[in-house]
Amino acid sequence: MDWRFDNSYARDLPGTYVVQKPEPVPAPTLVKLNTALAAELGLDPAALLPDAAALFSGNALPEGAEPIAQAYAGHQFGGFSPQLGDGRALLLGEVIDIHGQRRDIALKGSGRTPFSRRGDGRAALGPVLREYLMGEAMAALGVPTSRALAAVATGARVQRERGLPGAVLTRVAASHLRIGTFEFFAARGDRAMVQRLADYAMARHYPDLPQGEGRYLAFFDAVTRAQARLIAQWMGLGFIHGVMNTDNMTISGETIDYGPCAFMEAYSPGTVFSSIDHQGRYAYGNQPLILGWNLARLAETLVPLFDADEARAIDLANERLGAIAGIYRAEWVQVMRAKLGLDGAQEGDADLAEGFVAALSGTDWTLGFRRLARATAPADLRGLFKDMAALEAWWPQWQARRALDAPARMQAANPAYIPRNARVEEALAAAEAGDLAPFERLLSVLADPYTDRPGLEAYALPAPESFNDSFRTFCGT
């Protein structure tokens, strides 16, 4: 089959990657093929099927693929690692989809590369299916995200705390350019390569930006807007990424690297699920601050491009960094307007949103918004809200401000179904034991998150508090 690869990264950016073949796996079997996404990529799902296990395990390469491991660095939990890179992933190349969008096709778990350090280059089936599920759920929720094209079991075991079935994920993304890609070259003093990367990223992700003087500032502003909008969407959904290291933050503004991520149930700003986030650096309520911290790392790599005069370049960068909190805030208020069914923008909307969020303390984040849509009085929410007094005090301002068609607007902005932790764990445990039915069913529930459907009530409910209190997520590496 003709994939019509057009590999601009490999062609335009020599010196930013190493050419590397996937390591063969012993007995690949197809676990899941995303036929809708395949069709979006211009591939015929039926024609793919016979070779799917071989292709999506890396045992065979599609025609036109030029596999490479990309170099990148990154700040991990605040500390700088000058060399990370694709240690278990390979970019096969890029395909122009049926909408004319250029998309990366990459394997994850495809074997060792020069960037593997002490890792085995592999991935386990549970984390692969977790990334599959989370990415598809986010896409259906309307959040920019990488997608999963396929999951293949390798037939080999991977050794983690215990032996686990191995798997390979095929990931589709707008690109895999990260803040960490820029940091890799900036840390080596390779200003020319930073500039080449910026030119490439602009042409690929922000083609409408003005050319000429000031274009790198415009580029930085565009990345800021995209990432601020993304984090505002995460916050609206109660999504906790879990590892907002600079190597996991894309230049395109898409969510990537679903490792220890999870959706919050009872609202508390300090919520953390990741077993390695001991200090709560990437807690729910910290994500907007980390957005600014990460963008500061990107700005540092771009300073030499902002202005030939260094002092002036630094001033320009600082001006930008000072504006990020306000840019994020505006995006967050916009998300909240939709969630609360407000029409237009008014002074006081931010306070109204803050008021509701405060009243949600301890209450299931997703159900709190979803049930508010159909409530006609605070009493309708008794039993759900922990702080009825706060809700009652807030109610009259909202009544006065909300749009006439608020219920319909709110149904479309507040999901009934999210990947709830207990459901995800249950689906992955069954899959590991060879039963894919719960995974398939959860995937189908999450494909249409804004429409209540009879028979799916249990998927809309939080786990018992005791579950979430002790629930921990792992990077799965």
Give me the active site residues, please.
Answer: 247
Q: Which two tokens stand for residue 357?
A: 């969020």
Name which of ligand AMP, Mg ion, none residue 475 binds, using a CB cut-off of 5 to 8 Å depending on partner kind: ligand AMP
Q: 121 contacts which partner out of ligand AMP, Mg ion, none, CB within 5 to 8 A by kind?
A: ligand AMP
Which pair of tokens denotes residue 447?
């494909």
By the rule CB under 5 A, 59 interacts with Mg ion: no
Does residue 258 contact residue 419 with C-beta atoms inside 8 Å?
no
From the list ligand AMP, Mg ion, none, partner contacted by residue 103 (C-beta under 5 to 8 A by kind): none
Q: Which residues bind ligand AMP (CB under 6 A)?
A: 84-88, 115-116, 119-122, 243, 248, 257, 259, 475, 477
Measured from each CB, the residue nearest to ligand AMP is 119
Closer residue to ligand AMP (CB): 22 or 236: 22
Q: How far is the CB of 168 from ligand AMP (least distance, A)?
A: 12
- 136 part of the interface to Mg ion, by CB under 5 A: no
CB of 239 vs ligand AMP, minimal distance in Å: 17
Say how far apart CA 271 and CA 139 lie, in whole Å: 23
At its nearest, how many Å lie between Mg ion and the CB of residue 84?
7
Please list the alpha-helical segments (H only) found in 112-170: 125-141
Smallest Cα–Cα separation from 85: which of 112, 123, 103? 112
> Cα dist. 372→138, 162, 234, 390, 397 in Å?
22, 44, 20, 14, 14
Distances (CA, A) of 304 to 88, 186, 209, 317: 32, 10, 19, 10
Please identify, using beta-carbon distances, which residue of 121 and 415 lies nearer to ligand AMP.
121
Cβ nearer to Mg ion, comparing 119 with 269 = 119
Residue 410 beta carbon to ligand AMP: minimum distance, rounded to whole angstroms: 35
State which residue has the least CB distance to Mg ion. 257
**Out of ligand AMP, Mg ion, none, which partner does residue 477 contact, by CB within 5 to 8 A per kind?**
ligand AMP
Site string for Mg ion, 229-268 (x = CB under 5 A): -------------------x--------x-----------
Give the shortest CB-249-to-Mg ion separation in angstroms: 10
CA distances from 377 to 311, 338, 380, 393, 399 (A): 58, 20, 6, 12, 10
The partner in contact with residue 122, picked from Mg ion, ligand AMP, none with C-beta cut-offs of 5 to 8 angstroms by kind, is: ligand AMP
Nearest to 245 by CA among 282, 272, 278: 282
Give 151 or 360: the residue with its C-beta nearer to ligand AMP: 151
Write phi, then psi, for 454 (nearest 5 degrees).
-60, 145
Q: Are 288 and 259 in contact (CB under 8 A)?
A: no
Rounded Cα–Cα distance for residues 363 and 268 (Å): 9
Contacts to Mg ion by CB under 5 A: 248, 257
